[in-house]
Amino acid sequence: MVLRILALFLAITLQAQAATNPPLSALQIEIWPEYDRPRALVILKGELSESTALPADLALRLPAASGGPSAVAYADASGKLINLVYEPESKGGFVTVRIRPPQRYFHIEFYDTLASDQPQREYRYTWPGDLAVERLSVLVKEPAAASNLAVLPNLDITGQSPDGLNHRAAQLGAFKAGQQLPIEIRYTKNDPRPSTEIMGAAAPAPSAPPDAPAATWPLALVAGGVVVLLGATAGLVWRRRHIKPSGPFCPKCGKATKAGDRFCASCGAGLG
């Protein structure tokens, strides 16, 4: 009986959380395992409905293990991404990020934990359903030197990103507020280095800004449900050049460190 009451309370809480947020016309969830750190980079790119009054108040929950976002932004009328002030709150196994974007497009990035000490890698992220979404799409980028990549749900669009890494993607349709989406990723990888180090990838030059933000934002969908993916690398360039991380990280192992630390508490590497 106690468990039933707790489950009911949790369901009501989740529904209340979702009800406070306006709906999205589109949401793209991107997961880049072991891209530039030995963690999973998760990117949420949202587009508010045209009927939503701006600025809009949003509350989105990130996994507690992430420690909060590493980048939060919105897109202005020209399509340029601009830093967005946010308020984090740790509660109930999540870090709730409250934002008030003045435009329809917002962008959130965070790093989640991913065990990389064994060749068989696994990662799971669950979209908690904080907002209703008219069109939800998912993109998973395959790490360099990885094999046997498997993703659930099935992502049936395959291709190669501008940085040379293979990806899989799919448009999954509409999701109601409170409806969760678990994404499970499995692959084999023996090289402990992140993709950028394996490929010797330098940050690519940003592409010329287009005339309209809808073209810049990689949420636009074309006929047949194919996701436009070419903006993914440009988003990372912006993040590296213009966003300060929410907390310092060890350059060797990627673990969070504290301000003033001279050595990483996890691997002992010098922090300069």
Domain boundary assignment for the chain: 2-242
| Confidence at 20, pLDDT banded by 50, 70, 90 | confident
Q: Poorest-confidence range of 120-134, 170-184, 205-219?
A: 205-219
Whether the predicted pLDDT of 6 surpasses 50: no
| Confidence at 258, pLDDT banded by 50, 70, 90 | low
Show the tokens assigned to 161: 């990103």
Helices marked H in 100-249: 195-199, 213-216, 232-242
Q: Poorest-confidence range of 114-123, 193-202, 210-219, 239-248?
A: 210-219
Whether the predicted pLDDT of 269 surpasses 90: no
Predicted local distance difference test score (pLDDT) of residue 39 = 97
Whether the predicted pLDDT of 165 surpasses 90: yes
Q: Give the mean pLDDT of 158-177.
A: 95
Helices marked H in 35-128: none
User: Average pLDDT, whole number, for the chain?
Assistant: 79
Whether the predicted pLDDT of 201 surpasses 70: no
Q: Give the mean pLDDT of 208-227.
A: 34
Inter-CA distances, 228 with 102, 119, 138, 204, 212, Å:
24, 32, 11, 18, 15
Predicted local distance difference test score (pLDDT) of residue 107 = 97
Predicted local distance difference test score (pLDDT) of residue 263 = 66
Whether the predicted pLDDT of 73 surpasses 50: yes
Does residue 55 have a cis bond before it (omega within 30 degrees)? yes
Predicted local distance difference test score (pLDDT) of residue 8 = 47
| Confidence at 98, pLDDT banded by 50, 70, 90 | very high
Closest CA to 153 of 183, 130, 132: 183
Whether the predicted pLDDT of 148 surpasses 50: yes
Spatial neighbors of 125 by CB under 8 A, at least 6 apart, are 29, 31, 40, 42, 63, 112, 182, 183
Predicted local distance difference test score (pLDDT) of residue 102 = 96
Q: Give the mean pLDDT of 48-71.
A: 96
pTM for the model stands at: 0.73
Does residue 88 have a cis bond before it (omega within 30 degrees)? no
CATH 3.40.50 fits 2-242, yes or no: no
> Could you say which DSSP state residue 39 is in?
S
Whether the predicted pLDDT of 151 surpasses 70: yes
Whether the predicted pLDDT of 202 surpasses 50: no
Predicted local distance difference test score (pLDDT) of residue 235 = 44
Condensed to tens digits (0 to 9), the pLDDT of residues 182-193 reads: 999 999 999 999
- From the CB of residue 240, how many other CB atoms can be counted at a distance below 10 Å? 11
Predicted local distance difference test score (pLDDT) of residue 80 = 87
| Confidence at 79, pLDDT banded by 50, 70, 90 | confident
